[in-house]
């Protein structure tokens, strides 16, 4: 990752920093403090900071990730190591203890964390130090994941896009223009210049069915107003493109 350990630490261990690559958050910056991350229709996740060792090691545990009784704590640890003007960041997340029988809770989390680490790398490379506002347009749709993702990307003219390509959504879609950073059969990550400087994830996920997701991180001052406006536009666009769209279950 680009940046000194202190810069990376601010991104991984403070509320405003976590919002730039993962989710809106608040962190009490001390061992034993509370960390809260906000996940849209899935609600908030509350945890306790178990290690606070700036700028090298940050860890916390969450217990409210499921309604099932007796669940073991979900632990996340992030390590930062300086290396030649950059940093190596290692993230470990899951059950550090008592996880037998709870393996189903891990489904899909590896993919999600990998995406978040990519977001962090791009943020530190291109937008370091800037605040972020987030938007999330989402819904559950009938069908197979491959069909849903093909419909989403096709409607935006993004099928067949490769990393490095310049992309621009058609006029009937919300504003989206920039450089494709990642692209595969299930989605795309765009480093945008429109609707503002930022990152946009557009994808379909298997999560209790098939979920279509547009997630944006908009960087710089004034991003909150843009994010609010664009989130409403994207949600309306998804509802028109996917008539069976429903709120996540």
Q: Which of 69-81 are b and which e, b meaning 16 or more Cβ less than 10 Å from the residue's Cβ?
A: eebbbbbbbbbbe
| Mean pLDDT rounded to a whole number for the chain | 91
Positive or negative: CA dihedral 86, 165, 226, 18: negative
Q: According to CATH, where is 3.30.530.20 located in the chain? A: 5-126, 132-241
> Which of 46-50, 67-71, 75-79 is least confident?
67-71
pLDDT value of residue 228? 96
Structural contact between residues 146 and 205, judged by C-beta atoms closer than 8 angstroms: no
pLDDT at 67 over 80: no
pLDDT tens-digit profile of 121-146? 999 999 999 999 999 999 999 999 99
The topology (CATH level 3) of 132-241 is: Alpha-D-Glucose-1,6-Bisphosphate; Chain A, domain 4 (3.30.530)
Beta strand extents in 63-116 (DSSP E only):
74-83, 86-94
- Tell which CATH architecture fits domain 5-126: 2-Layer Sandwich (3.30)
pLDDT value of residue 73? 85
pLDDT value of residue 5? 97
pLDDT band at residue 170, thresholds of 50, 70 and 90? very high
**CA triple 15-208-182, angle to 5 deg:** 60
**How far is residue 247 CA from its own chain's centroid?**
19
For the entire predicted model, the pTM comes to 0.92
5-8 LR contacts (CB < 8 Å, sep 24+): 5/55, 5/56, 5/80, 5/81, 5/82, 5/87, 6/54, 6/55, 7/124, 7/128, 7/129, 8/55, 8/80, 8/87, 8/89, 8/124
C-alpha count within 13 angstroms, C-beta hemisphere, residue 39: 11
pLDDT at 94 over 90: no
pLDDT at 66 over 90: no
């Amino acid at each position: 990752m680009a940046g000194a350990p202190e810069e990376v630490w601010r991104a991984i261990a403070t509320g405003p920093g976590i919002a730039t690559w993962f989710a809106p958050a608040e962190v009490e910056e001390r061992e034993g403090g509370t960390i809260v991350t906000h996940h849209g229709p899935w609600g908030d996740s509350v945890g306790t900071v178990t290690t606070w060792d700036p700028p090298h090691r940050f860890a916390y545990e969450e217990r409210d990730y499921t309604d099932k009784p007796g669940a073991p704590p979900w632990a996340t640890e992030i390590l930062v190591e300086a290396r030649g003007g950059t940093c190596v960041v290692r993230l470990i997340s899951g059950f550090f203890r008592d996880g037998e029988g709870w393996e189903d809770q891990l489904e899909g989390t590896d993919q999600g964390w990998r995406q978040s680490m990519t977001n962090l790398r791009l943020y530190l490379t291109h937008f370091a130090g800037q605040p972020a506002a987030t938007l999330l347009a989402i819904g559950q749709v009938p069908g197979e994941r491959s069909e849903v993702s093909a419909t989403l990307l096709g409607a935006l003219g993004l099928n067949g896009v490769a990393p490095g390509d310049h992309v621009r959504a058609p006029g009937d879609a919300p504003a989206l223009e920039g450089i494709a950073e990642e692209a595969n059969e299930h989605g795309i990550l765009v480093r945008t210049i429109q609707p503002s400087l930022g990152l946009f994830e557009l994808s379909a996920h298997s999560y209790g069915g098939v979920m279509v997701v547009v997630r944006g991180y908009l960087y710089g001052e004034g991003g909150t107003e843009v994010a609010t406006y664009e989130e409403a536009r994207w949600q309306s666009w998804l509802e028109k493109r996917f008539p069976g769209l429903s709120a996540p279950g």
